[in-house]
């Protein structure tokens, strides 16, 4: 197991992510769906289940995955209280974001990809992940995205570009990350026929030792 994998399997990290409130932008977006039982949603990189639980509580046809077995176990545990143990196990899978083979093409109306794409550690992983996202998304389906920017400096020591890479940086505690600014993120999404629904936003937040810059976006499939 790599150091990055060990980081995401730590009980403290699982509990930290599970304790977070559901994403505000997702909560607002879900109001657009008057018949949630007819909307199939994938929570890509579900972590401790904060958004998966919200989707299940509101009656969406929700599926989720995460590369961390500990995160999947926590999300299953929380979701089982709503859907039952067997349904939680059927719907929540341990899997990489770049491998969506369990799902048919054009399966999902909405993909929730919050704080997940930037975990790509290479161009190959990044491109494969976006291709898979586009494959399983229905025509005119939506993808809700948040992705860290290379303008981030969370520990006040600056980010370091990995030698030989164009967008992979070190300096976050969770390992190397694929970081893009808003224009570059839009361009990458356009490559797989995902275009902005609204203008992509850049959000600056101070941390204890520096700052974090996040790109928030909502795309639809052409």
pLDDT at 3 over 70: no
The pTM (predicted TM-score) of the whole model is 0.94
Helical spans, DSSP H, in the chain: 3-9, 11-18, 24-30, 50-57, 69-83, 85-91, 123-136, 182-191
Per-residue pLDDT, 113: 99
User: Alpha-carbon torsion 10, 16, 21, 26, what sign?
Assistant: negative
Name the pLDDT band for 18 (thresholds 50, 70, 90): confident
What is the residue range of 61's domain? 3-221
Distance CA 143, CA 84 (A): 27
Question: For residue range 154-165, what is the model confidence (pLDDT) as tens digits?
Answer: 989 899 999 999
- Tell me what the pLDDT averaged over the chain comes to: 95
- List the CATH number of the domain containing 206: 3.40.50.150
Q: Write 59-63 long-range contacts (CB < 8 A, 24+).
A: 60/30, 60/33, 60/36, 61/36, 61/37, 62/91, 63/91, 63/92, 63/93, 63/103, 63/108
Q: State how many domains the chain has.
A: 1
Spatial CA neighbour of 65 closest among 86, 84, 90, 40: 90
Q: For 135-187, how does the pLDDT look when each residue is reduced to its tens digit (9 = 90+)?
A: 999 999 999 999 999 999 998 989 999 999 999 999 887 789 999 999 999 99
Q: Which helix (H) or strand (E) holds 139?
A: strand 137-148
Beta bridge partners of 143: 111, 219
Residue 72 φ/ψ, nearest 5 degrees: -60, -45
């Amino acid at each position: 197991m790599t150091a990055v994998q060990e980081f995401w399997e730590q009980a403290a990290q699982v509990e930290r992510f599970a304790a977070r409130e559901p994403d505000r932008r997702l909560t607002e977006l879900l109001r657009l769906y008057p018949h949630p039982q007819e909307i199939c949603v994938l929570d890509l990189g579900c972590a401790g289940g904060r958004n998966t639980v919200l989707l299940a509580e509101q009656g969406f046809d929700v599926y989720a995955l995460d590369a961390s077995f500990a995160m999947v176990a926590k999300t299953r545990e929380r979701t089982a209280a709503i859907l039952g143990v067997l349904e939680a196990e059927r719907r929540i899978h341990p899997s990489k974001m770049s491998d969506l083979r369990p799902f048919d093409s054009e399966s999902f109306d909405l993909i929730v990809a919050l704080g997940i794409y930037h975990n790509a550690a290479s161009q190959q992983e990044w491109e494969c992940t976006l291709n898979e996202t586009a494959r399983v998304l229905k025509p005119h389906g939506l993808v809700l995205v948040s992705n860290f920017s290379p303008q981030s400096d969370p520990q006040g020591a600056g980010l370091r570009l990995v030698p030989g890479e164009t967008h992979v940086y070190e300096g976050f505690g969770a390992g190397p990350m694929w970081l893009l600014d808003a224009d570059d993120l839009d361009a990458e999404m356009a490559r797989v026929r995902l275009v902005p629904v609204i203008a992509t936003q850049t959000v600056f937040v101070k941390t204890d030792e520096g700052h974090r810059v996040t790109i928030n976006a909502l795309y639809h499939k052409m």
